[in-house]
A and B are shown apart, each in its own frame.
Chain A
Amino acid sequence: MKLLFEKSVPGRRGVGPGPSDVPTTIHLNGDLLRDRCAALPELSELDVVRHFTELSRRNFGVDTNFYPLGSCTMKYNPKVAERIAGYPGFAHLHPLLPQLRMGDMLAQGALAILYEMDLLLREITGMMGFTMQPMAGAHGELTGMMIMAAYHRDKGSQKTVLLAPDSAHGTNPASAAIAGYRVVSIPSGADGLMDLAALKRAIGDDVAGVMLTCPNTLGLFNPHIREICDLIHSVDGLAYYDGANLNAIVGKARPGDFGFDIVHLNLHKTFATPHGGGGPGAGPVGVKEHLVPFLPVSIVVKRADGTYALEYNRPKSIGYVAPFYGNFGIVLRAYVYILLLGKEGLARVAENAVLNANYVRCKLKGHYAPAFDKLCKHECVFSTTEEMAANGVHAIDIAKALIDRGFHPPTVYFPTIVKEAMMIEPTETESKETLDAFIAAMIEIAELAQKDPEQLKAAPVTTPVSRPNETAAAKNLNIASL
């Protein structure tokens, strides 16, 4: 398909600002101006609309079909949240208004939402205070690491090591390293859970904390989670909960009750805000009482008269991780979702997400090699079988064959500790009929892996492109049309 720039017609006009009602004053010195216009395309509004409509048809979203991308919680995104985010009272609100004198009063509706969201997330996680500033999960991790560092600095502790399991999302070690920590990876045991003996060996006075998902990236809940938190606390370390997998336990169990000190949530996962093709998301961070002073500024507080205000005077705060209040539009959508579901609805989320994952796991375990043949939470992980491997069939071939059958593939080749990993997360919003169709497709593909492996290696054949050459892309780098 042609690029926008290739469709450009010199002299064609799109949307302009219309006639001017003020004099044109050439008040700028020519040396300060660009010597030629930016080479943007010259297209009509219809040209642009057609171009992007065509592009959208080359895309696959949750609204298109089943999207069981493990670890990403691709659940349905309620339309009402989009509609509400577009209300002018939210969309047109300037973020600097509260910084004017008495400006808090100009944004009482928005501040009420931030305040209430804080309370709701505290109850959901068992924490004592939240910041809405982090703009994605990884940004929440970085914020959490900054809080951890501020806590240890405040106590005068010299701690340099952050522990993370080898099954962790790549963002965990990356966030810790960027915050200045040396990352020590703790191996997983044969049961897929963090090896407690290895953890004990790694524990020392230099340990600032541990970073964990629970359930982990294998979809397994660690029953020793409290013991892990206690071990970390024994050297005055902090336990950080990566909330990427909260969908598995929301309403059933709370990281605060396990002993975690810091939590981030991916609102775009558990709380159903759209993934946007790779953002925007939101990654609020919650902490226990002793860490509340370190949260970023500002914090929304409620005055005695029931109005809301922004508090900036927090001497121990780590400062600013976002210019204002985070991705407010995303926090708002998640707030809408929580109001819609309420207490009962959220508990049903975890139940059905776990039911669906186990249903898929049990139905597929005779056809693929389960990484761990036991109860899982929100996702299950499979490998290719030995027979498939003997036929030269890889996880990538199964993924591509699923595409031809109308499904988005699971996450493949992650977690890296499982060879030929396929990580399936159905989520609670998928019906039994969809799951059955997916299971049937997976079984058909498993059979083809024996009967006609070449067909799988030829897949996909129904898409506009098939298996682009990624090596050539990296080698002959072309990342902009100039």
Chain B
Amino acid sequence: MPFIPHTEQQQRQMLAEIGLTMDGLFADIPADLKAQSFHLPAGLSEMEVRNRLAELAGKNSVDLTLFLGGGFYDHFIPSAVYSIISRSEFYTAYTPYQPELSQGTLQAIYEYQSSICRLTDMEVSNASLYDGGTAMYEAMMMAMRITGRNKVIIDDSVHPIYRVMIHSHTQNLPVDLNETHCTNGLANRAEILDRLDDQTAAIIVQNPNFFGCIDDFTDLAKAAHEKGALLLVSCYPISLGILKTPGAMGADIVTGEGQSLGMPMSFGGPYLGFMAARKEHVRKMPGRVVGETTDREGRRAFVLTLQAREQHIRRDKATSNICSNEALCALTALVYLALLGKEGLKETAQRCADKASYAYQRLTAIKGVEPHFKARWFFNEFVLDLPCEAADVIARLIEKGFATGFPLSRYYKGMENSMLICVTEKRTRQEIGMLAEAVESVL
């Protein structure tokens, strides 16, 4: 049998030594509780499995030129990222409960936490959460714990899937969720300030927002703090290569999807939820945290710390139920950031913005194609209005080999003709030119 090393003779010998039979090993399961059915296919060889999976992989359209983003991005991944995270000393380990055997994982997580803080201009970070959406939900719960309040304001320029995730997660909880409606591409100040009161735990916003527009939330941070509420900002980590940081805006908790930091899109996961916060809130922060200390000889050492907040100690009073997080994805993000380094990340972000800007010029030059938001700054995504239904245009361009963008009508009423276009540093001038020609040809 694959992966089971005992020979039949060894099995017999072991059973004999402990005075049991194979059936006897399961004698504690009453006969009427034994499996009533177990109709699975027979096992396959590795060669057969690889052939079958290669065939299935071939049925996925990964040869499209991607101008599709929407929170999940096709960035370039340096080869060294995969080489490093494929070291099985990392990926076949588990949570570093024994620090002497896990200094590699522990130091890497400490460096990851440090990198997330440096990227966002925040003071503390946890070791990772599942994804950007669950990280936003956890941040909201954390804000409610900190403030002792249960009213939350979220603008609809925040990723629609994250908003629906928050809605789903709070169905059985006493949370007063208030959704405001973005105006001309930015979070709706008037509505947010109107809802904001001394019962508000948090305002949740995103930068760049789902439409790709760049905002500065300094005013909202100030307004929130005046009412004793917190500002929660979700962000796109690559954009922080150049954009003003949530920390500089006065955010209290920062979350986001870390997929763009070296992780392939993998049809939705595994991804990386990151979370950073101000130091005063560290004990209310969910998830694992690694800290630096010394060992008994005075040597630098890293350990899991603040564990008393966690489920394995606090049980039903824990800050969160999270146990396994996304450690290998956090390592991936760290390696990616280390390889790009200070200048490399800045250049990558600038290149995304440049290429998006170029694509914007090319596409808006087409007759009938108009920018949806007038005079708005964007990072690497923007919304265009077409003279006809966007979903239809996108479907027709698939046939020409382009995943042109995302039809916004799926999540926003009245945006039937609008599509969200994303350009990463991977898209070439030639591809952008070909896209413009293709769009023109189908209008």
Determine direct contact between A and B, CB below 8 Å: yes
Smallest beta-carbon distance B416→chain A, Å: 12
Q: Which residues of A contact B15 (CB under 8 A)?
A: 355
Q: In the bound complex, do residue B4 and residue A428 qualify as a contact, i.e. CB atoms below 8 Å apart?
A: yes
Known: A55-B107, A59-B93. A29 touches B377 (CB 8 A): yes
Known: A61-B91, A345-B43, A409-B98. A109 touches B56 (CB 8 A): yes
| CA A92 to CA B121, docked complex, whole Å | 31
Smallest beta-carbon distance A5→chain B, Å: 7
Q: In the bound complex, do residue B93 and residue A60 qualify as a contact, i.e. CB atoms below 8 Å apart?
A: yes
Q: In the bound complex, do residue B3 and residue A27 qualify as a contact, i.e. CB atoms below 8 Å apart?
A: no
Known: A45-B339, A135-B130, A275-B324. A465 touches B299 (CB 8 A): yes
Smallest beta-carbon distance A72→chain B, Å: 5
Q: Which residues of A contact B441 (CB under 8 A)?
A: none
Chain A CB within 8 A of B387 CB = no
Q: In the bound complex, do residue A33 and residue B80 qualify as a contact, i.e. CB atoms below 8 Å apart?
A: no
Smallest beta-carbon distance B276→chain A, Å: 9
Q: In the bound complex, do residue A479 and residue B113 qualify as a contact, i.e. CB atoms below 8 Å apart?
A: yes
Chain A CB within 8 A of B140 CB = no
Q: Which residue of A lies closest to B93 (CB)?
A: A61
Q: Which residue of B lies closest to A482 (CB)?
A: B117
Q: In the bound complex, do residue B104 and residue A55 qualify as a contact, i.e. CB atoms below 8 Å apart?
A: yes
Known: A4-B338, A22-B429, A343-B40. A226 touches B33 (CB 8 A): yes
Interface 0/1 of A43-76, CB less than 8 Å to B: 1010011011101111111111001010010111
Known: A14-B339, A16-B344. A465 touches B11 (CB 8 A): no
Q: In the bound complex, do residue A61 and residue B18 qualify as a contact, i.e. CB atoms below 8 Å apart?
A: no
Q: Which residues of A contact B141 (CB under 8 A)?
A: 178
Q: Which residue of A lies closest to B279 (CB)?
A: A477
Chain B CB within 8 A of A346 CB = yes
Q: Which residues of A contact B161 (CB under 8 A)?
A: 320, 323
Interface 0/1 of B210-223, CB less than 8 Å to A: 00001010000000
Chain B CB within 8 A of A286 CB = no
Q: Which residues of B contact A45 (CB under 8 A)?
A: 78, 80, 339
Q: In the bound complex, do residue A64 and residue B130 qualify as a contact, i.e. CB atoms below 8 Å apart?
A: no
Smallest beta-carbon distance B421→chain A, Å: 13
Known: A278-B105, A482-B114. A249 touches B42 (CB 8 A): no
Of the candidates A177, A322, A325, A430, which one forms a contact with B5 in the assembled complex, judged by CB atoms under 8 Å apart?
A430
Smallest beta-carbon distance A370→chain B, Å: 13
Smallest beta-carbon distance A354→chain B, Å: 5
Q: In the bound complex, do residue B107 and residue A1 qualify as a contact, i.e. CB atoms below 8 Å apart?
A: yes
Q: Which residues of A contact B289 (CB under 8 A)?
A: 479
Q: In the bound complex, do residue B43 and residue A343 qualify as a contact, i.e. CB atoms below 8 Å apart?
A: yes
Q: Which residue of B lies closest to A150 (CB)?
A: B171
Chain B CB within 8 A of A130 CB = no
Chain A CB within 8 A of B306 CB = yes
Q: Which residues of A contact B29 (CB under 8 A)?
A: 221, 223, 249, 252-253
Q: In the bound complex, do residue B34 and residue A275 qualify as a contact, i.e. CB atoms below 8 Å apart?
A: no
Chain B CB within 8 A of A381 CB = no
Q: Which residues of B contact A352 (CB under 8 A)?
A: 4, 6, 11
Q: In the bound complex, do residue A56 and residue B89 qualify as a contact, i.e. CB atoms below 8 Å apart?
A: yes
Number of interface residues of B (CB under 8 A): 209
Q: B residues 302-335 with Cβ under 8 Å of A? A: 302-303, 305-306, 308, 310-318, 320-329, 331, 334-335
Q: A residues 221-265 with Cβ under 8 Å of B? A: 221, 223, 225-226, 249, 251-254, 257-258
| CA A430 to CA B4, docked complex, whole Å | 7
Chain B CB within 8 A of A340 CB = yes
Q: Which residue of B lies closest to A466 (CB)?
A: B295
Interface 0/1 of B8-26, CB less than 8 Å to A: 0011011101111010111
Interface 0/1 of B171-184, CB less than 8 Å to A: 11110000000000
Smallest beta-carbon distance A332→chain B, Å: 8
Q: Which residue of A lies closest to B295 (CB)?
A: A465
Q: How large is the interface on A (under 10, 10 to 19, 20 to 34, 35 or more residues)?
A: 35 or more
Chain B CB within 8 A of A338 CB = yes
Q: In the bound complex, do residue B345 and residue A474 qualify as a contact, i.e. CB atoms below 8 Å apart?
A: no
Chain B CB within 8 A of A136 CB = yes
Selecting from A81-89, A197-205, A386-394, A443-451, the interface stretch reads A81-89
Of the candidates A32, A59, A74, A92, which one forms a contact with B214 in the assembled complex, judged by CB atoms under 8 Å apart?
A32
Give the one of A57, A170, A354 with max B CB within 10 A. Answer: A170
Q: In the bound complex, do residue A180 and residue B172 qualify as a contact, i.e. CB atoms below 8 Å apart?
A: yes
Of the candidates A24, A49, A109, A296, which one forms a contact with B84 in the assembled complex, judged by CB atoms under 8 Å apart?
A49
Q: In the bound complex, do residue B59 and residue A480 qualify as a contact, i.e. CB atoms below 8 Å apart?
A: no
Of the candidates A13, A328, A345, which one forms a contact with B344 in the assembled complex, judged by CB atoms under 8 Å apart?
A13
Q: In the bound complex, do residue A276 and residue B91 qualify as a contact, i.e. CB atoms below 8 Å apart?
A: yes
Chain A CB within 8 A of B291 CB = yes
| CA A464 to CA B296, docked complex, whole Å | 12
Interface 0/1 of A406-429, CB less than 8 Å to B: 001101001000000000000011
Q: Which residue of A lies closest to B425 (CB)?
A: A17
| CA A184 to CA B294, docked complex, whole Å | 40
Q: In the bound complex, do residue B14 and residue A92 qualify as a contact, i.e. CB atoms below 8 Å apart?
A: no
Q: Which residues of A contact B303 (CB under 8 A)?
A: 468, 470, 473
Q: Which residues of B contact A284 (CB under 8 A)?
A: none
Of the candidates A57, A179, A324, which one forms a contact with B267 in the assembled complex, judged by CB atoms under 8 Å apart?
A324
Q: In the bound complex, do residue A274 and residue B80 qualify as a contact, i.e. CB atoms below 8 Å apart?
A: no
Smallest beta-carbon distance A367→chain B, Å: 15
Of the candidates B4, B14, B121, B301, which one forms a contact with A429 in the assembled complex, judged by CB atoms under 8 Å apart?
B4
| CA A319 to CA B164, docked complex, whole Å | 7
Known: A136-B323, A465-B100. A91 touches B1 (CB 8 A): no
Q: Which residues of A contact B88 (CB under 8 A)?
A: 61-64, 77, 274
| CA A469 to CA B301, docked complex, whole Å | 8
Q: In the bound complex, do residue A296 and residue B1 qualify as a contact, i.e. CB atoms below 8 Å apart?
A: no
Q: Which residues of B contact A474 (CB under 8 A)?
A: 291, 305-306, 308
Interface 0/1 of A99-134, CB less than 8 Å to B: 111100011111011000000100110100000000
Q: Which residues of A contact B41 (CB under 8 A)?
A: 339, 342-343
Known: A174-B318, A277-B95, A468-B301. A17 touches B348 (CB 8 A): yes
Q: In the bound complex, do residue B43 and residue A94 qualify as a contact, i.e. CB atoms below 8 Å apart?
A: no
Known: A40-B118, A58-B104, A279-B325. A53 touches B80 (CB 8 A): no
Q: Which residues of B contact A33 (CB under 8 A)?
A: 242-244
Q: In the bound complex, do residue A41 and residue B130 qualify as a contact, i.e. CB atoms below 8 Å apart?
A: no
Q: A residues 1-46 with Cβ under 8 Å of B? A: 1, 3-5, 12-17, 20-25, 27-29, 31-35, 37-43, 45
> Which 8 pairs between the two chains have the least Cβ-Cβ distance?
A89-B57, A319-B168, A342-B43, A324-B268, A276-B328, A59-B104, A61-B92, A280-B270
A-B contact pairs, 22 of them (CB 8 A): A1-B300, A13-B341, A21-B428, A31-B216, A45-B80, A58-B102, A60-B89, A60-B102, A90-B60, A91-B266, A92-B62, A95-B72, A153-B171, A257-B35, A279-B128, A280-B328, A345-B4, A349-B4, A359-B14, A375-B24, A432-B5, A460-B100
